Structure 1
Amino acid sequence: MILWGLVIVLVLGAGGIVAWSQIGVMAAEPEPLAGVRANPAITVEDAEQGIVLAPADGDSDFGLVFVPGAKVDPWAYAPILQGLAEEGVTVVITRPWLNLAFFDPRGLDAFTSADPEIDTWTVGGHSLGGVRACQLAADADALVLFGSYCATDLSTSDLPVLSLSGSEDGLSTPEKIQDARDQLPDDAEMIQIDGASHASFGDYGPQDGDGTPTISADEMHADVTRAVGGFLDAVEDRAR
């Protein structure tokens, strides 16, 4: 009887976690996503490895694996990352198990297999996805953080790192970003985007506990494309 009781408790607990992970998922805003799907400069594939954005001409020798934030629809990151695909980067947006990156044990190669011909891969992520990206960074050529920080000590590595944060972020606040700065290499590039909130790094609408953005979505997309694009160019040059 005790054994059966434990089994029932475990089953109910597992079922509760699965149910919780599906409730309150923040959906991608339809209008920005429609723009991605209609963009003639890129291809959009709903692949086994994730959502793959690639330049339409197929000319790509650099990749970015991007891990979504907790309980955020992966498609919500397609609009802010499409500019990189336009510039020649193949982007793979992962689909974390149970919508939470920490429940996804897959290694980086589970996602880079979307394009085996690419030799240089950066890993990145937003919020909790960025924390998970830090754990995968040992197998990557560089790391990009969107409104996030590492709980993994990378300070003694020679990994190129770009950290983008928002001045109005109410979740990964500027103070939290600074407090975790010592987990990154001394030469990590730290950029705070003026007017950006936590949810500015995706197109999924307002988020509880967040600040109020004073930057438009178009401006945010352009700033991120410019910052990440320049960083990836430097990483690619270094890899040659």
Structure 2
Amino acid sequence: MRFYPLLVIITGLLLGCSYLPEPTPPVSGITLTEDRTSIVVSAAGSTGSTTGFLFYPGALVDPHAYLSLMQQLAAAGPGYRVFIAKVPANLAVLQPEAAGPILSAHPEIKNWVIGGHSLGGAIACTWVARRPASVRGLVLMAAYPAKSDDLSGWPGGVLSIYGTNDMVLDRSTLSTAYARLPSSTITVPITGGNHAQFGAYGDQAGDGSASISRADQQQQTARQFVSFMNTLGL
């Protein structure tokens, strides 16, 4: 992950640039609803769930591009709901507090896990740094905390997952950033995965070529996510 220069962000805003979602087939037993704050992905029987996963999309990526992965997470889990945050211009850095209205609108959910892809993951780290008691866990997909966000003393659980063919993620910076995460952080490299295949929006500039399919990368991600949730007792 590279933090996008101001020029890139401004250009994206002016030109309305975004990575658009590819068609996502529906998953049996999964319901999608959305409002101005989020897309909610719910598995059958999850209406009364007290566990939720809130996800920040990557920079300039339409939130609907993550439906393929998030449907798998919801389907694989024991009834929790997944919330994909909507942010201005598809840039979470413009609304790092996007999680707030979602959490407030769902007081029935007592156990929250937050996460994100790429820049979205960095913003999720910022949320945890500012409100450490609001969530139980943090899931980083090709992401790491900014230098200003030291989570090394946070008691929550962290899953860091990335593709070994990812050329967008700055691997040396990722390695350094682990010092700002808890020592109990679970790190999972997906062999042959790349940056863009956590979503479904086509190729990403500067990314490496994946040697596994997007379906395979997302299935592996879903398995690791459910295993991580189990370690949290959720």
Deviations 1:83-117 (A, max 9, x none): 12112220100011222111104253312245321
For 2:50, the equivalent position in structure 1 comes to 61
Is the radius of gyration larger for structure 1 or structure 2? 1
1:157 to 154, 159, 167: 154
Q: Quick check: 2:122–2:145 contact (8 Å CA) kept in 1?
A: yes
Shift in Å, 1:172: 1.0
Mark the CA change 1:183 to 1:100 in structure 2 (over 3 Å): closer, same or farther.
Answer: same
Regions of 4+ moved over 3 Å: 16-19
Alpha-carbon distance in 1 for matches of 2:226, 2:37: 23
Unaligned residue ranges in structure 2 (runs of 5+): 1-8
- Higher normalized helix content (fraction of residues): 1
**Greater displacement, 18-27 / 214-223:** 18-27
TM-score scaled by length of structure 2: 0.87
Unaligned residue ranges in structure 1 (runs of 5+): 1-15
Question: In the TM superposition, what are the counterparts of 1:1-240 in structure 2 within 5 Å?
Answer: 17=10, 20=13, 22-30=15-23, 33=24, 35=25, 38-57=26-45, 58-86=47-75, 87=77, 88-106=79-97, 108-137=99-128, 138=132, 139-151=134-146, 152-237=149-234
RMSD: 1.8
How many residues are paired up?
217
Give 1:208's aligned amino acid: A
Taking only the aligned residue pairs, the percentage that are identical comes to 35
Q: Quick check: 2:97–2:127 contact (8 Å CA) kept in 1?
A: no
Structure with larger RCO (C-alpha < 8 A, sep 6+): 2
Alpha-carbon distance in 2 for matches of 1:18, 1:173: 22
Deviations 1:160-192 (A, max 9, x none): 100001101111133332121111011100111
Deviations 1:108-159 (A, max 9, x none): 3312245321100001000000000001122211100000001111011112
Deviations 1:65-85 (A, max 9, x none): 000011000001110111121
Deviations 1:30-83 (A, max 9, x none): 1xx2x1xx3231110012330000112235221100000110000011101111
Is the partner of 1:219 in helix, strand or coil? helix
TM-score scaled by length of structure 1: 0.84
**Greater displacement, 94-103 / 207-216:** 94-103
